[in-house]
A and B are shown apart, each in its own frame.
Chain A
Amino acid sequence: MYLLAIESSCDETAAAVCADGKILSNFIATQKVHEMYGGVVPELASRAHMQHIVPVVHQALEKAGCTPTQLDAVAFTQAPGLIGSLLVGAQFAKSLALSLNIPLIPVHHMQAHVLANLIPEERPSFPFLCLTVSGGHTQIVRCNSPLDMQVIGETIDDAAGEAFDKSAKLLGLPYPGGPLVDKYAREGNPERFSFPEPRIPGLNFSFSGLKTSILYFLRNAGTSLLYKEEFKATDEERTAFIQNNLADLCASIQHRIISILLNKMKKAVEETGIREVCIAGGVSANSGLRQALKETGDKLGWKTYIPPFEYCTDNAAMIAITGYYKYQAGQFADLSVAASARAEWE
Chain B
Amino acid sequence: MEKVFSLEQLPETAQWVWEQAGDIKVLALHGEMGAGKTTLVHALCRSKGVTDVTGSPTFSLINEYAAPGSGRIYHLDLYRLRDEEEAIYAGVEDCLYSGYPCLVEWPEKAPGIFPPETLHLYLEPLNEGSRRLRIGRN
Contacts and interface: CB of A to CB of B under 8 A. Distances in A.
A83 B59 CA distance: 14
Contact of A156 (B33, B34, B55, B90): B55
A80 B55 CA distance: 13
A315 interface: no
Interface stretch (A124-132, A210-218, A236-244, A290-298): A210-218
A44 B55 contact: no
Contacts of A340: 64
Contacts of B118: none
Interface string B29-61: 000011000110010000000001111111111
A82 B61 contact: yes
A211 B38 CA distance: 12
A216 B80 CA distance: 22
Contact of B59 (A136, A208, A211): A136
Interface in A122-153: 134-137
A155 B57 CA distance: 12
Contacts of A159: 55-56, 58-59
Interface residues of A, number: 43
Contact of B89 (A80, A84, A136, A158): A84
Given A45-B90, A215-B34, A157 B60 contact: no
B15 interface: no
B90 A341 contact: no
B61 A157 contact: no
B33 A155 contact: no
B90 A344 contact: no
B52 A344 contact: yes
Contact of A157 (B38, B86, B91): B38
A154 B53 CA distance: 8
Contact of A341 (B53, B56, B62, B127): B62
A304 interface: no
Interface stretch (A97-105, A162-170, A188-196): A162-170
Interface in B103-138: 125-129
Contacts of B64: 83, 340-342
Given A80-B60, A136-B59, A208-B39, A342 B66 contact: yes
A261 to B, nearest CB: 15
Nearest to A87: B91
A158 B38 contact: yes
Given A44-B81, A84-B90, A216 B34 contact: yes
B39 A83 contact: no
A342 B58 contact: no
22 contacts: A44-B86, A46-B91, A47-B89, A82-B60, A136-B58, A136-B59, A136-B60, A137-B59, A156-B42, A156-B55, A157-B38, A159-B55, A159-B58, A166-B33, A169-B33, A211-B33, A342-B65, A343-B52, A343-B53, A343-B63, A344-B53, A344-B66
